[in-house]
Amino acid sequence: MTDRYAVFGHPVAHSRSPQIHAAFGSQEGITVDYRAIDAAPGQFEDALEAFAADGGVGANVTLPHKEAAFALCTTLTARARRAGSVNTLLRKGERWHGDTTDGIGLVRDLTDRHGLDLRGRRVLLLGAGGSARSVAPALLDAGILELVVVNRTPERADELIDAMGEPGRALSRYWDDLRELGDFELIINATSAGRDRDAEFKLPLSLVNSLTAAVDLNYGEAAIAFLAWARAAECRNVIDGLGMLVEQAAESFQQWHEVRPQTDAVYQTLRTGAASLSDGA
């Protein structure tokens, strides 16, 4: 039976992950059978088991399944356990092993590709769902000074902060408090608000200083609203999630095939066609 790989999400037809993994495979001389599988939240577990029965040995997981994937894993990496979120699955016998590569993918993109120094920076993280949970630990490990998480449901932000185990350095605040938080060197949008085509971000300009980089974990249409606000606010750097997507995919590829592919050429190919890309993994 041929080893198979996939990305699970809902929706997921727009995903560029099959294209990315095919390019990585071509680069490394590895034939990769990688597909996109759409599974509604109530169908994810059954779809994943059917995939395993059909030769599935590795999978990526995107919205809205990252926390559900975490719950289905028998073993987890330390960073996945800390995040409470999984985006990379590896089949071990009859069980799934889970990891989260989003955070390291984000940090690699920001530091290596965009030349940002994250050390000693105040960071504002908008959202507290699976995407936010997947990047928060890596940001703290990268040496940021302070992480402030703001979510429309405060309890979710509190849960994320509690999981980080960094009292005093990682804080949760209310969405209505945004005007009182001061300014940040890095503002990250981890919400799914941009999936609404009529979405408009209205964030206070007091969040921005002369060094502020604004990053949306989405890319394509889902990133338009937040990035439009960032440009209007004259943020120094305005970055979408395309680079993170490629870097987290490379981390997953390495776990499955024991070789880390080069990412720059794949990123540039995708960036060239970025106007036609949609959000997702």
Contacts with 60 (C-beta within 8 Å, 6 or more apart), sequence order: 5, 6, 7, 8, 17, 87, 88, 89, 249, 252, 281
d(CA 52, CA 93): 10
d(CA 40, CA 266): 29
> What are the catalytic residues?
66
The three state secondary structure string of 114-136 is CCCCCCCCEEEEECCCHHHHHHH
d(CA 79, CA 123): 19
Strand, coil or helix: 214: strand
CA neighbours within 13 Å on the CB side: how many for 94? 0
